[in-house]
Amino acid sequence: MGIIRRLRALAVLAVAAFSVSACGYNVIPTKQEAAKAAWAEVQNQYQRRADLVPNLVATVQGYAKQEKDVLTQVTEARAKATSIHLDANDLTDPAKVKQMQDAQNALSGALGRLLAISENYPDLKSNQNFLALQSQLEGTENRIAVARRDYVAAVQDFNTSLRTFPTLIWAQTVFRSTQPMAAFTANDEAQTAPKVKF
């Protein structure tokens, strides 16, 4: 009799474990971790860009000493962008995500102005160090765009799982404290078409 009871208890436990795993219990934490991993990749690419900036500034400085204000803007924008830290727990706060996004956008703008300086300095434009750094920055900007896209997709997937059946049941009960994550939003300049002048 004792063995049969134990077997029944094990069978009930196995069925319950299978039911819990099959009904979406693991979906919310799995998607949350995927979104956090995607955010880590965004931060990784931001760090890569921040690491390239001092080398680029030093290279341009040698050629364009009179462009001190642009070099200062780049240095200050990099310092501000690297001073804002967002960990995975802050991803549910849209204000903190926007603060980091604004700092990164400021760095992008300053870098754009710095790279535009090269048009005024033919020797700089042909310098191998500058060309290599410019190429690396362009590649990093592309990687940032891909990492952001992947993060947005992961956040959308996670946030949707909090609002759709059957994971909605788990979100309203076991994972009640789990908040939706904030996605990237376009900056104000992206809302208007660029003006082209000839």
- Give CA–CA dist 10/180, Å, rounded: 37
- Give CA–CA dist 47/36, Å, rounded: 16
- Give CA–CA dist 198/196, Å, rounded: 7
User: What pLDDT score does 193 carry?
Assistant: 47
Q: What are the φ and ψ backbone dihedral angles of 98, each rounded to 5 degrees?
A: -65, -40
Q: What are the φ and ψ backbone dihedral angles of 178, each rounded to 5 degrees?
A: -75, 125
Instruction: Out of 3-7, 18-22, 33-37, 89-93, pick the least confident.
Output: 18-22
Name the one residue in this structure whose structure tokens are 């980091």.
100
* CATH value of 37-184 in 1.20.1440.20, 3.40.350.10, 3.40.50.1010, 3.30.450.80: 1.20.1440.20
Q: Are 168 and 27 in contact (CB under 8 A)?
A: no
The DSSP letter of residue 24 is T
In this prediction the pTM is 0.77
pLDDT at 197 over 50: no
Cα–chain center distance at 13: 41
pLDDT in tens, 56-110: 998 888 888 778 888 899 999 999 999 998 888 899 999 999 999 999 999 999 9
Alpha helices in the chain (DSSP H): 2-22, 27-63, 68-83, 94-117, 122-126, 128-163, 167-172
pLDDT in tens, 146-190: 999 999 999 999 999 999 988 988 899 999 999 999 988 766 665
- Give CA–CA dist 146/140, Å, rounded: 10
